[in-house]
Amino acid sequence: MDQVKFDISLIEYGFFISAILVIMIGLYGAMVKKSLIKIVIGLSILESGVNLLLITIAYVQGGTAPIFSPGLLKDMPLTVENIKALGAGMVDPVPQALVLTAIVIGFGVTAVALALVIRLYRHHHTLVIDEIKNLKW
């Protein structure tokens, strides 16, 4: 039993570590790369990392989908304690709702960024950020 529990917590830590790793990769891409397209890709990766982290904090070991219906109670009486006990076995729904919103926002930002990249390319005929500096950085 202990062995199984250890494995599950390892998976959970794995999610955390990989989410932070993805965030780091995204930050690297957005801040260090010189190509406009790679910067946009970096931003996308950064967003995915944050979304993964957001989903991970909602994780409950062996949790079910957070949909409550009276049928779940089976023969138990409808008391506050029973409902709470059922809720403890469910995944937290709030971060999932937040992630949906964050994904949509990320989509919008990426679309605007790519539109700007197209305009920059038409204006300067290059995607290298060092060659686009009419404005002082």
Partner 1 sequence: MVGSPVLFVAIPLLTAFLIPLFAYIWKELVRIIPGIVILYLLVLSVSLYGQVLREGTIVEQIAGWAPPWGINLVFSPFTGLLSTLMLFMAFIIWMYSYRFKNIDFEPSKKYFILLLMLVTGSIGIVLTGDIFNQFVFIEIMSISGYGLTAFYVGRDSAEASFKYLIMGSISSMFLLLAIILIYSQLGTLNMADIASKAHLMKPEFKILALIFFILGLGIEAEIFPLNGWAPDVYSQAPGPIGAAFSGIVVKAGIYALIRVIYTLFDVEGSLQFLVIIGMITLIIAEMAAIRQDKIKRMLAYSSIGQMGLVLVAFGIGTHEGVFAALFLMVSHALIKPLLFLSGSYLVFNSTEKSIKELNGLGKFMPLTSFLFALGAIAIVGLPPLSGFWAKWSVLTAAANSGMLLVIGLVLAISIVEIVYYFRVVNRIYFFKKEESVVPKIPTINAKFAMVILAVIIVAIGFYPDLITSYLHEASETLLDKGNYIQNILSVAQQVTQ
- Interface with partner 1 (CB under 8 A): 23, 27, 30-31, 36, 39, 43, 46-47, 50, 53-54, 57, 94-95, 98, 101-102, 105, 108-109, 112-113, 116-117, 119-120, 123, 132-137
Taking each helix axis from N to C end, the angle separating 2-32 and 36-56, rounded to the nearest 10 degrees, works out to 150
The token pair that represents 3 in the structure block? 């062995």
Q: Minimum distance between the CB of residue 129 and partner 1, rounded to whole angstroms?
A: 9
DSSP bridge partners of 43: none
The contacts of residue 124 (CB under 8 Å, 6+ apart) are: 131, 132
Comparison of 5 and 119: residue with beta carbon closer to partner 1:
119
Comparison of 11 and 57: residue with beta carbon closer to partner 1:
57
Q: Minimum distance between the CB of residue 66 and partner 1, rounded to whole angstroms?
A: 14
∠ CA 66-68-72, rounded to 5°: 115
